[in-house]
Amino acid sequence: MDASAELRTEFLTHFVIEAAPGLEIGKTPRGWRRVDRVTKGTFDGPRFSGTIVTATDPVLVLRDDTARLDVRMVLETQDGALVQMTYDGIVAGPREVMNRIGRREDVDPSEYYLRTAVWFETGDERYGWLNTILAIATGRLLVFPNRAFGDHYNIYRVL
């Protein structure tokens, strides 16, 4: 295999996200649906830091208990730029582990798989480079001391 075909990444930013209890839509033709609402969050990286202004995460749980993520958020960088971040992802693991996650228990990330594909969009020229990249993220689900639920992501630009 040609070495130039190897996937290479560069660390972009680290996110910590806290969500309110989800809105339970219930069983739908596609699976069980819940919409999580982000209440607060921050991101910090070498070229890209700030806070989450608003976000929703319509989670779709499939029959095998795999969760599909479809997140839309608006970010504000520390210097005032607004950026839309979109990511599609998957949370998968054994049924018992996924049930524990569904009950909002703190589960060791080695017991499940959480990965996302990330896209950005902005009209701010200082961050125009975000419009032309694809990023990926590894994640961990969090339970905060106040029993709120959230995520911890490391996001990497695909080179």
pLDDT at 114 > cutoff 60 = yes
What pLDDT was estimated at residue 35? 92
Q: Please write the tens of the pLDDT for every residue from 72-83.
A: 999 999 999 999
**Amino acid identity at 60:** L
Paired tokens of 34: 């819940």
pLDDT class of 3 with cuts at 50, 70, 90: low
What pLDDT was estimated at residue 109? 93
User: Domains, the chain, ranges and CATH?
Assistant: 11-158 (2.40.160.20)
pLDDT at 70 > cutoff 70 = yes
Q: For the chain, give the mean pLDDT.
A: 92
pLDDT class of 146 with cuts at 50, 70, 90: low
What pLDDT was estimated at residue 5? 75
CA distances for 6 relative to 1, 2, 115, 126, angstroms? 9, 8, 19, 29
pLDDT class of 36 with cuts at 50, 70, 90: confident
Under a CB-based contact definition with an 8 Å cutoff, are residues 155 and 135 in contact? Answer: yes
The 10 Å Cβ neighbour count of residue 77 is: 19
